Amino acid sequence: MQAENYDVVIVGAGVAGALIGARLAQAGVKVVFVEAGPRTDRDSAVNRYRAGSYPYESPEWAPQPTVSDLDYYYVQTGPEKFGSDYERRVGGTTWHWLGNCPRLLPSDFQMKTRFGVGHDWPLTYDDLEPWYGEAEKELGVAGDSKADVGSPRSTPYPMPPIPLASGDAMFADAAKQLGLTLVATPQARNSVDGYQDRKICCGNAMCIPICPIQAKYDATVHIALAEQAGAKVLENAVVYRVDVDSDGKVSGIRYKSPDKSDHTVTGRTYLVAANGIETPKLLLISKSEATPNGVANSSDLVGRNLSDHPETSATAYAPKPYAGTRGPLQLSGIDQVREGDFRDKRAAIRLQVAQSVGNPLQLARTYIQEQGLSGKALFDKIAQTAPYQVRLASMTEQLPNPANRVTVDDQHVDALGIPRPVLSYAYDAYSQQGKAAARTLHQQLMEGIGAHDVTYEEGFHGVGHLMSTYLMGDDPKQSVTDSFGRTHDHPNLYLAGSGLFPTTGTANPTLTIAALALRTAAQIAHELGVINVATPSASPVTSPVASPEASPIATPAS
């Protein structure tokens, strides 16, 4: 079959690929997205969820991991099982992400210099700060611009913060007694009606796995903008090879359709933005005479340093009704614990107050099975417990470890014959020490609100943050790409996503993914000779800045 030719070929239609594709398509660049999974009909997905099923089906041709069965798609070699999943569909994992959008701290970019651990990034916080502001506009982030959370800003959030729940006030008072401040967590969901033509959040409390009204941002927003500008989306197209010429330039990508037929797409510039596991998997299986170790892998770092934000939690019963499950799943957190000189010895944490702990059905099963309750006794017990449940959760940072990695093995393949990701993963002492600090803080806060029957999570669980598997850096021997995501080995191949992160910090990665993606889009446009791509204006960085009024905001130019 004759190859289709484009200016830019983007593998993956998640947030990074969507932002880059939309910016370029709107500037007149001929763009194609090649996505392994299908489009998703929101109403059908919501109905599946309401009927008791997971809203997104896992296609046979593009299987995806699930936390309910960590061996379903992953090949886990230990010593720990990697506990995070993702979506393979148009829009990517933004379909089921939480929506939290904190920025990294300035020190997160200089871990080696500041604390003697990890790596320094090839760019600074100040380099990325204008792009953070641009990303917040594109994703539609609601936040408190007056709050000083350690990340200086030159522009206000585009929307005011989501109001905190009454239950957050309990923990705010307890935090204050410890010299800490509970602040609104910035979120990519509408706190006013009409931003990006999206609806205001109405508190369905089902952000994970799906926002039924698209108050929460997902990448289909920018896929739609790209298509309106002429971009093409090839869905159900599973890329299995990146072709490289003898001169080191990428010459095409190959994909399989669900019927196993082969196709090729070619372009001038290529971008792989699949995620922190699918991207290295694709690069590693693309071996040839020109790339015997896989594409972009002369450093042997593709797939290495697999990281997450291991999370630990505490659950309890408050002395008065908490009134949760009336808004997003998390509304507030404590940012002061993200920073400190202790980071030379242990992980920083970011504490979050959860709005959704369990549900009456789960409690009912427990009381029926363990206590034999029924009838009025069961009803009264649920009424006495369900409204009082509270939960604290803390994400910890994880240092880069080359032994934590994604590899491939031809003995483990999917329905199309494409190798599945083989994962080797462990938690380090640095993160374990962070977990100990988190437990102490959880205990202090639970005591501060007078909670009882506190249960502390013994281990960690994954939070869906797939990071550091194709590091950016200045030295081609110590990194896979430069600061723009351009691979050191192949001048016309870029990578995007949180796999670029040299270190993880304690911020949910999506906003940083978006800021880097917008910066990469401008660089690709420059190389293609396109001059009409939006870039942020240089403004003095200050903190805090004035907040916008709580009133409808017009859709921003993209």
- Name the residues annotated as catalytic: 465
Structure tokens at 198: 């999206």
Strands 182-184 and 330-334: antiparallel
* Number of C-beta neighbours around residue 547 at 10 A: 16
**106 DSSP 8-state letter:** G
How many other β-carbons are positioned within 10 Å of the β-carbon of residue 276?
A: 28
361 three-state secondary structure: helix
Assign residue 91 a region: left if phi > 0, alpha if psi is -120 to 50, beta otherwise? Answer: left
Cβ count near 75 (within 10 Å): 16
Longest dimension (CA), the chain: 76
CB 158 within 8 A of CB 192: no
Residue with tokens 């949760």: 324
- Quick one: 440 exposed, middle or buried, by C-beta within 10 A (0-12, 13-18, 19+)? exposed
Number of H helices, E strands in the chain: 11, 16
Ramachandran region, residue 214 (left: φ > 0; alpha: ψ -120 to 50; beta: rest): left
Which value, in Å, is the radius of gyration of the alpha carbons in the chain? Answer: 23
Return the bridge partners of 456, or none.
314
Helix or strand run (H / E) with residue 439: helix 429-449
